[in-house]
Structure 1
Amino acid sequence: MRISTVTMFDQSVSAMNRQQGDFLKVGQQIASGRRVVNPSDDPQSAARAVGVSQAKAVTQQYADARVSARNSLAQGESVLNSVADAITSAKTLLVQASSDTLSDSDRQSVASELRGIYETLLGQANATDGNGRYLFGGYQDSSSPFVRGENGITYVGDNQARAQRIDASREMPVSDNGIRIFNSVASGAGYLSEAGRLTADGSIGAQNEGDVTFSGPQIVNNSDPHHGRAFRVDFANDGVDITFTVRMQDDNGDWVETVPPLNDEAYDPAGQTISVGGLRLSLQGTPEDGDGVRVATANEMNHDLFKTMEKALGVLENPAATPTEKAELRNTLRTAMRELDNSLDNVLTVRASMGARLNELDVVDAVGGNRMMNYEKTLSDLVDLDYSKAIAEYSLRQVGLQAAQKAFVDVKSMSLFNFL
């Protein structure tokens, strides 16, 4: 068989190109640190690596979402800390204002401080995050959730809590709406009393015209079968005799007789104790005909923090000269202090909930970090380079390329003319 010069040259060049390609491929792997530079290098590993990379990217997105959630919760928790301090200061001022030694001007000074706290609370309720979104407006976070109107402060946000997905199986509320914080009470908040002339449905209408005051209610029997039911005390005064009738609210919301019945009972202005449904209410003073007192759970009574502040400001900013005005002052401040206690408990409950969510974020972060490490290891096993093996192969390919080049030099110099 005859081998032409062209054939020898073609075979030598092909061998050099093949050796040079293998050599450059190993060099590219060493430069990139990856065993699979192109999908054709290992199609199966390349396909699996794409899936792992996508899962890794999703996990990183959840990690970024947790950073955002943590910032929102931390800002909300900080604001609630300030709100709790403000409520505590307001309660201190009301205790001070309850002293009979204070004059009208003294109470007006207290009211001036209390109004400052009121404005502070409004500012905290309309707090924003670093992006200008309102923290406590729910999903309506582009405008102030609490607005001032003719009837005081009104909440105009929604009743939802903004949520963010922090992991594949967890969507976490990253804020709480204003209703839950400023217009709610914690479970088990207890009972409240409120004095005023009662309407047909048992709600408070106008203020009392007499000077009756209340204390309580206190829980004396949790096992009473009617414990927890709202009740009302209606006074009758014909100028000679003073009596009271007590009605209890049933499951349908109707006012029915108590057990045992308390109808047209004689009332002692020097001090009267009424026990209904395991609750005891102490009364003192002389009521006018039509005056009344209502007792119910805190959830059935006023639980709007701003209305509580407005009630307290209303009686502190006005003089209390007559017995009726003094009784109104005492009753309102007693009710307001209990309502502030309930509001404080509620704010602390919400704040604790935010703290629990911050702790949960730490746990999910740890889980996400472990997941990312597993993805990194899997990805490394699939496409990363074994440098020791690659360097050895690099040297081998270099020797092969040099051998091919030397062989070509030797072959191309061979000619029959050298033997003629």
Structure 2
Amino acid sequence: MRISSVTMFEQSTASMNRQQSDFLKVSQQLASGRRVVNPSDDPQAASRAVGVDQSISITEQYRDSRISARNSVAQTESVLNSVKDVVIRAKELLIQASSDTLSSEDRESAASELKGVYETLIGQANATDGNGRYLFGGYKDNAPPFAKNAEGSVEYNGDANSREQQVDASRLMPVTENGKTIFQSVPSSASYVAKASPGNEGNVTFSGPNVNDVTHDDYGQGFTIKFNVDPGIEPDSDDSTYTVIGSEGEAITPDGETGTGPFDYTGDGQQLSFGGISITLKGDPADGDEISMARPGTTESPADLFKTLEAAIGVLDNPAETDAEKAALRNTLNSSMRELDNALDNVLTVRASAGARLNELDVIDAVGSNRMMNYTQTLSDLVDLDYVEAISEYSLRQVGMQAAQKTFVDVKGLSLFNYM
């Protein structure tokens, strides 16, 4: 069988090109640190690597989302901490103002400081995040959620939603709170609040009410104590009577009573118990005076931290000279302090929720880090290079290419003309 010189040259060239290609492939692997440089190197591994790469990208996006969510929740928690301090200071001022030793001027001074607390609270309620969006406006975050109306009272202009952010594949987390939840809500365990009617002409004051029995059949509804005093009788007369009316207009029989009955409001006062609650009254009522009681957050007693402060400021700004005015002052301060207690409990509850979400973000971060580590290891197993094996292969391919080159040189030198 005759083999032409052309055939030998072509085979030698093909062998040398093949060795160069294999050598170049190993060189690229060593330079890139990857076993699969092109999909053709390992189609199955390359296909799986695309899926793992996508999972890594999604995990990184969730990680960035958690950073943004943590900033928003941390800002919310910080503002709520400031709100807590403001409410505590307001309560301290009301306690001071309720002292009988203070003069009208002293109470006006307390009212002046309370106005500053009130304005500070408005500022906190209209706090913004780092992007200029209002924290407590819900989805209406492009305008201040709390603003004064024409009467000078603060109104909420946001919505009842909370902005949410996807922080993991299965977790959509609220990153802010709406102002209604913070400043116009109370916890479910909030105590009853009593309020004297603005038109009362007597000097009856109250303390409480206190909850005695939450299982009482009438517990949970609102109550109104109406006083009936014959204008022709002397004060403290046994002919002064009262009636307790439920929220549906029915008469409520107080515990231990057979119906409406006389009262002795002098001395240390008299305690009334009905509907699972009790209230202590002291002083002389006028005919038609009323004291109402309701659970806060209901239509009968809507919760509003700003209106609570507005009522306290209003009563402290007006000098209390008559017995009726002094009773109105004490009753309003008592109601306001009870409402501040409920508001403080609510703020602490919402703040605790924000703190819990910060802790949850830490847990999700730890899970995400473990997931990212697993993805990275899987991707490394699929496409990363084994340097020990690659260097051995590199040396082998280098020797093979040198042998092919030497063979080509030897074949090229074979010619009959060398022997002529």
Q: Do residues 231 (structure 1) and 239 (structure 2) align?
A: no
Is the CA contact 1:66–1:166 (under 8 Å) kept in the aligned structure 2?
A: yes
Q: For residues 145-164 of structure 1, what are the structure 2 equivalents within 5 Å?
A: 145-151=145-151, 152-164=153-165
Structure 2: runs of 5 or more not aligned: 234-238
3-state secondary structure, aligned to 1:129: coil
Q: 1:85, CA displacement in angstroms?
A: 0.5
Partner of 2:389: helix, strand, or coil? helix
What's the offset of the Cα at 1:223? 4.1
Residue in 2 that maps onto 1:294: 292
Question: Per-residue deviation at 1:262?
Answer: 6.4
Q: Does 1:134 align with 2:128?
A: no
Could you say what secondary structure the match of 1:255 adopts? coil
- RMSD of Structure 2 on Structure 1 (CA): 1.4
**Contact 1:232–1:248, Cα closer than 8 Å, also in 2:** yes
Percent of aligned pairs sharing the same letter: 62
Shift of 1:263: 5.0
Give 1:11-410 correspondences, 5 Å limit: 11-151=11-151, 152-196=153-197, 206-239=198-231, 240=233, 241-249=239-247, 254-259=248-253, 263-270=259-266, 271-300=269-298, 301-410=301-410
For residues 173 and 398 of structure 1, the distance between their equivalents in structure 2, rounded to whole angstroms, comes to 61
TM-score by structure 2 length?
Answer: 0.94
Q: CA deviation at 1:231?
A: 1.2
Inter-partner Cα distance in structure 2 for 1:44 and 1:223: 68
Could you report, residue by residue, the CA deviation over 1:351-399 in whole angstroms, capped at 9, with x for unpaired residues? 0001111111111111111111110011001000000000000011111
**Structure 1 stretch displaced more, 81-90 or 297-306:** 297-306
Deviation of 1:324 (Å): 1.3
Tell me the alpha carbon deviations over residues 85-134 of structure 1, each in whole angstroms, 9 at most, x when there is no partner. 01001000000000011111111110111111111110000000111111
Counterpart contact for 1:192–1:295, Cα < 8 Å: yes
C-alpha distance in 2 between matches for 1:207 and 1:167: 57
| Matched residue type, 2:144 | S
CA–CA separation in structure 1 for the residues paired with 2:172 and 2:215: 41
Deviation at 1:278, TM superposition (A): 2.2
Which structure 1 segments of 5+ residues have no match? 197-205
- Relative to the length of structure 1, the TM-score reads 0.94
